[in-house]
Amino acid sequence: AQSVTQPDIHITVSEGASLELRCNYSYGATPYLFWYVQSPGQGLQLLLKYFSGDTLVQGIKGFEAEFKRSQSSFNLRKPSVHWSDAAEYFCAVLITGGGNKLTFGTGTQLKVEL
């Protein structure tokens, strides 16, 4: 069955430090992959997506992610974290057929220390 694993439940970084959030997926076909961010009391905002082509994708708010097929990974990165980046981050894989379903990981809670 298709699944997404986010190994880190909580991560704390200092403002200005670099960030990498890990995501591993299990999916038989070529995956469509996404990163979403959720602030407290809010819905999900799309940061970036990978469908095909260049394996390094750029998103909003200075985030980027790299698709590595050999490692079944799609890690999210940001060179310099801002305090406003504190939120929960979800990796998701799209399952096609029988609806356009996103399967989400359990999320990584990011805390930013000033």
Partner 1 sequence: DAGVTQSPTHLIKTRGQHVTLRCSPISGHKSVSWYQQVLGQGPQFIFQYYEKEERGRGNFPDRFSARQFPNYSSELNVNALLLGDSALYLCASSPTPDGNSPLHFGNGTRLTVT
Q: Which two tokens stand for residue 94?
A: 């799209």
Q: How far is the CB of 17 from partner 1 (least distance, A)?
A: 25
Tokens of 10: 């909580």
Q: Indicate the burial class of 104 (C-beta count within 10 angstroms; 0-12, 13-18, 19 or more).
A: middle
Stretch of 10-18, 62-70, 78-86, 99-107 contacting partner 1, by CB under 8 A? 99-107
């930013």: which residue's tokens? 112
Residue in the structure block whose two tokens are 């469509």: 32
- Cα 75 from Cα 63, distance rounded (Å): 11
At position 107, the amino acid (one-letter code) is: G
Under rule CB under 8 A, residue 26 binds partner 1: no
Least CB distance to partner 1 at residue 78 (A) = 20
Give the per-residue contact string, 34-73, with partner 1 (x = CB under 8 A; - = no). Answer: x-x----xxxxxx--x-x----------------------
Sites of contact with partner 1 (CB under 8 A): 4, 32, 34, 36, 41-46, 49, 51, 90, 92, 94, 96, 98-107
